[in-house]
Structure 1
Amino acid sequence: MTYRNVISAVVRALAAETISSAGGCDFEPKVQSGKHVGEMVGRDAAFLTDCWVFGRLHRSLSPAQWRVLVAKYSTHTERKHTAIAELTKTVRSPAPERFRHCAIVTWALPKPAGVSGKRSTTVLPAAWYEMDNWSEEPHPIKTQERWRRDIRKALEREVDEALVAAQTLLDAEGLIETKAA
């Protein structure tokens, strides 16, 4: 199995741990009858590859790279919240801690356009997306926008660096499609 691109590989790998009813990656092979006796095919083969990629990325990426990918792309609620909490401690900004935390949470859990919270994706209550609620003390709106923009730029930069590292790893394993020109 190969992935279209590094983002689809990361998203599938991070989603793999929530697919199993046991709540984790199940590396026990489920052998199906295929072309060869004992060959894995179809969904089970793809799922096993996703689980393998999850483990390989988790083991090979730096903790900071792994944390930012989990915060951005994971569907595992507990791991995503843990990553967000850890990012709040590491992201540098002149903004107050509560503002930094809210900026990171709304970056990791963006409000999809036109959504009122009735989807399978996690959507925060509307008040979370209003910057005026992110600090106890009043700050000029331009200052708040600058803080939020700088925090998001720093997080996106970290995501880009993590994706480059993941791309290098997955290319070396031959898991990313290469299209002939």
Structure 2
Amino acid sequence: MIYSSVLNAVISVLAAETINNVSTQAWQKAYNSQDEDSGSDRVSLVRSCRRGVIDRTQVDSWVGARLRHNLQPALWHALVARYSTRRSHKVEAIGVLHSVLAPKVPAAISTLFLYKAITAWAIPKLAGARPKAATAQSIALPLGVPVWRREAVIKAAVAAARANDVKEQSRSSDAIVLKHSFYDMNTWDNTGKPESTRRRWRKLINDAASELVSEALVCAEDILKTEGVLIHEVTGSVLTGVSE
């Protein structure tokens, strides 16, 4: 697989991290540190291919490892906070960004405000998206139904509801949807600062976080060019046999 842009590569590798599949790590078994003497570790990826074809998720896993290894931690976590959809990684990255940005913003900005501003930047409010609320289960039973029958119907309905809850949880356990009230800046500051001040602080924090992302993408482009996985950098590459 060859990436059409740096952002496309970053989003792909971070999406691959949500896949719990050990086959995506197959390239690690073929890793040889001597391959990096040439400035590229692509050889270990090629060695791991089966029947001359390299799986897309395996490429994403390998590229992600190269970015994580070569980018400064602050830059890598900026990308994760902004683009990852994996809950645990995103939460960790937000915590790292808090430590990185704290010395760069005015001292008057409280820890609470900084944390909430970074979180809101990393997890923008989506129209119509709300945390799933508990719903009541209703069962219609005709009059005169025997007790044993009524109990059997209720038991079956409860079992079905539980199975559906497990299914829904497996689908969305990694998704983060914040309450709309989280984005209310009145809850970010308990010192009574005016709205204009809070908006100015939020912009400063957003700009600082976005600058880290921009710097990270520039550095990532250099890494991807070195590895030869950007489409405009590759001519006749050994990766042209990668399956989609």
Q: Structure 2-normalised TM-score?
A: 0.64
Which residue number in structure 1 is paired with residue 26 of structure 2? 28
Match of 2:98 in 1: 88
% identical aligned pairs = 38
Q: Which deviations, in whole Å up to 9, do the C-alpha atoms of 1:75-104 show, x marking residues without a partner?
A: 221111011011112213221110000000
Q: Larger Rg: 1 or 2?
A: 2
Is 1:62 the equivalent of 2:68?
A: no
Which one is further off, 156-165 or 79-88?
79-88
Residue 111 of structure 2 is matched in structure 1 by 97
Q: Which of 191, 195, 198 lines up with 1:144 in the alignment?
A: 198
In structure 2, the gaps of 5 or more residues are 28-48, 133-170, 234-244
Deviation at 1:115, TM superposition (A): 3.0
Distance in structure 2 (CA, Å) of the matches to 1:114 and 1:157: 29
SS at match of 1:19: coil
Match of 2:135?
none
In the TM superposition, residue 21 of structure 1 has moved relative to its aligned partner by 4.8
Compare 159-168 and 77-86 and name the one that shifted more.
77-86
Instruction: Give the alignment of 1:2-41 within 5 angstroms.
Output: 2-21=2-21, 26-28=24-26, 38-40=51-53
Residue 231 of structure 2 aligns to a residue whose secondary structure is coil
Q: In structure 2, how many angstroms separate the alpha carbons of the residues matched to 1:122 and 1:86?
A: 18
Alignment check: 8 A CA contact 1:14 1:54 kept: yes
Q: TM-score, normalised by structure 1?
A: 0.84
With over 3 angstroms needed to count, the CA separation of the structure-2 counterparts of 1:37 and 1:133, relative to structure 1, is closer
Q: What RMSD, in angstroms, separates the aligned Cα atoms of the two structures?
A: 2.2
**How do 1:134-173 and structure 2 match up within 5 A?**
134-173=188-227
Report how far residue 117 of structure 1 moved. Answer: 4.4
- In the TM superposition, residue 116 of structure 1 has moved relative to its aligned partner by 3.3
Quick one: distance in 1 between partners of 2:190 and 2:92? 24
Between structures 1 and 2, the one with greater helix share:
2
List aligned pairs for 1:37-52, cutoff 5 A.
38-40=51-53, 45-52=55-62
User: Which aligned runs of 4 or more in structure 1 are off by greater than 6 angstroms?
Assistant: none
RCO higher in structure (CA 8 A, sep ≥6) = 2
List gaps (5 residues or longer) in structure 1: 30-35
Q: Is the 8 A contact 2:130 2:178 kept in 1?
A: no
Q: Which moved more, 1:83-92 or 1:13-22?
A: 13-22
In structure 2, distance between residues paired with 1:166 and 1:53: 10
